[in-house]
A = this chain, B = another copy of it.
Amino acid sequence: MAHKSTNITPVAHGVSDQERWRRHGHRGGVLWLTGLPGSGKSTLAFELERRLFAAGYRAYVLDGDNLRHGLNADLGFSPADRTENIRRVGEVAALFAGAGMVVITAFISPYRSDRTAARKAAKGNFHEIFLSAGLAVCEKRDPKGLYKKARRGEISEFTGVTAPYEAPESPELTIDTGAITVEQSLRLLIDHVDRNFKLPAE
């Protein structure tokens, strides 16, 4: 994208990343969940937020359903709007990571190039987490009845049915949420966070 701003000089924050991390006992970064509708993104994100908080982490969920009521309320579901949606989420996630938080994003984010842009925005600690439950499983679950609506033609551009999902090529973690329980999935996620975010005790 072309930058429209000129006469702009970035200013350094008054607090360094390292100071924030030391205070929190962990580094900041992004856990980017991606997968088909019904693959468990929101369920896992909010439960992970709760478990990480209980374990002393500063954790916060950015969720598609919530953000579309605020920051991204001007965007629909066309390919261009989906890309802009994910671009903004990637930039906001990067800000949260910069504030030393473990930010958990729960967006279908079907396009590979959009996820690559989010990774680039985060400048560092970015973990793509692929919830790999397949279409058959997700459609059978259909927790919000959206697959049914999409099959009846009542939702246009529905990922998995009438819009593509491009699976990650080298995610930091893959969880087959069609094959294991929520509890088992959470265990894998928490282990991953402990390994990649926790600082050694001083």
Contacts and interface: CB of A to CB of B under 8 A. Distances in A.
Interface of A: 1, 3-5, 7-15, 19-20, 23, 42, 46-51, 53, 58-66, 68-77, 81, 88, 91-92, 94-96, 98-99, 101, 121, 144, 146, 149, 155
A72 B92 CA distance: 10
Nearest to A61: B13
Nearest to A69: B10
A70 B46 contact: no
B70 A121 contact: yes
Given A14-B46, A53-B19, A60-B99, A155 B7 contact: yes
30 contacts: A3-B68, A4-B74, A4-B76, A5-B73, A5-B76, A5-B77, A7-B146, A7-B149, A8-B68, A8-B69, A9-B144, A10-B66, A10-B69, A11-B42, A11-B63, A11-B66, A14-B49, A14-B53, A15-B59, A19-B53, A58-B99, A60-B98, A60-B99, A62-B95, A70-B94, A70-B121, A71-B92, A71-B95, A88-B88, A96-B99
Contacts of A62: 95
A48 B51 CA distance: 32
A51 B91 CA distance: 26
A155 B66 CA distance: 38
